[in-house]
Amino acid sequence: MSTALLKTVSLVKSFSAAGNLFGRGGGTVHAVNDVSLEIKSGETLGIVGESGSGKSTLGRLMLRLLEPSAGRVEFDGVDLASLPRRELRRLRRRMQIVFQDPYASLNPRMRIGAIIAEGMRVHDLAPRAEVKQQVLDLMERVGLSRDVFDRYPHEFSGGQRQRVGIARALAVSPSFIVADEPVSALDVSIGAQILNLFIDLQEERKLTYAFISHDLRVIEHISHRVAVMYLGRVVELAPARSIYTSPRHPYTQALLSAVPTVEEKGRVERVVLGGEVPSPLNPPPGCAFHPRCPLAEERCRIEVPELKAQREDATHQSACHLR
């Protein structure tokens, strides 16, 4: 883990929200607002946040599945926006995505084997005669039995479909995978199997992950570093251990304390946040978290806090005037 494989620099993505029939209520939503971070080779960056925090948009920006409104994404030192279509396509072989909904992300009219093989064919990665063997090997690796090669997605459970999604991503031997809530739709016992598969594959193939989830418990198991997002901004960025043992940002603290756990010991005092996540159409001025923050002061209502390193630990960044 040394060099940055992926880097975002002051990344912004805004969407214009259509107004109602009469043109009222429209505006601009900054889904991702000024995000700068790095993911090192071989590392998992966990991206956690509630609905509307911009985590999925950030994941799609990293792969240039969405065009940024400002800022840039560098993959292996190359600015993605500068690449012509052809070269972008070549680079895409090295970056893949696994989606949350294994029902919606597999073509229902294609057989499992063909779904997994498609990327290999498109990128011309293996001679025809060898494709099938490679697909079968991959299927075996992700825990699918070889005899499902000719079956269709609807014949499978959610967990098995997610294995197909993972095999499809691996088929082109990528170095970077964005996993967007890959276990959220699965039952606990199946989710654990899939999470372990991600962990094992990373070790075997030196993969780099951006792992997106709303579930802090899942994020902790898989991540080396964690970015906490709130209304489009990263509010805390730190090594996983440090974020879970000594969260700095009041939002991270509240989020952690809100996680229901089965353990008695080590239970932190629950901070139940009042209010709700404000509309991203009309975010509060200053620190976007201030209306719900137990510590907010005058300054928080005016100035947007910057993400900056903590004095006692340079690897731990937090965007709070007070912490």
Partner 1 sequence: MNGLLSVENLQTEFHTEEGRAVAVDGVSFTIAEGSSTALVGESGCGKSVTAMSIMRLIQSPPGYIRGGRVMFDGRDLLSLGEAEMRAVRGNDIAMIFQEPMTSLNPVLTIGYQIAEALRVHRSLGKREAWEAAVRMLELVEIPDPAERVATYPHQLSGGMRQRVMIAMALSCDPRLLIADEPTTALDVTIQAQILELMEALREKTGMALLLITHDLGVVAEHCEQVLVMYAGRVVEQGAVADVFAAPAHPYTRGLLRSLPRLGGSGKRLATIPGMVPPLDRLPSGCRFRDRCESAEAACAASDPQLQECGSGRTMACPLWCELGSLAATESRP
Q: Which amino acid, 217?
A: R
Residue span 12-31 as binding mask against partner 1, x where in contact by CB under 8 A, dash where not: --------------------
Q: Cα(313)–Cα(59) distance, rounded to whole angstroms?
A: 27
Yes or no: say if 14 and 31 are a contact pair by the CB < 8 Å rule: yes
Q: Write out the binding residues for partner 1, residues 278-317 only, by CB under 8 A.
A: none
Residue 188 found at the interface with partner 1 (CB under 8 A): yes
Distance of CA 144 to the CA centre of its chain: 25
Determine if 254 is a binding residue for partner 1 (CB under 8 A): yes
What is the C-alpha separation between 257 and 202, in angstroms, rounded? 30
Choosing from 3, 36, 133, 261, the residue that interacts with partner 1 (CB under 8 A) is: 261
- Residue 43 found at the interface with partner 1 (CB under 8 A): no
> Closest approach of Cβ 75 to partner 1, in Å?
25
Contact with partner 1 (CB under 8 A): which of 2, 16, 51, 145? Answer: 51
Smallest gap, in angstroms, from Cβ of residue 273 to partner 1?
Answer: 5
CA angle 322, 223, 244 (to 5 degrees): 40
Q: In whole angstroms, what is the distance from residue 185 CA to residue 210 CA?
A: 18
| Among 210, 256, 287, 307, interactor with partner 1 by CB under 8 A | 256
What is the distance in angstroms between the CA of the first residue and the CA of the last residue of the chain? Answer: 28
Contact indicator for 222, 195 with CB cutoff of 8 Å: yes
Judged by beta carbon, residue 13 or residue 221, the one nearer partner 1 is 221
**Binding flag, residue 207, partner 1 (CB under 8 A):** no
Find the part of the chain contacting partner 1 (CB under 8 A) among 82-90, 120-128, 265-273, 293-301.
265-273
**Shortest Å, Cβ 7 to partner 1:** 23
Query: What sign does the dihedral 128-130-136-138 (CA atoms) show?
Result: negative
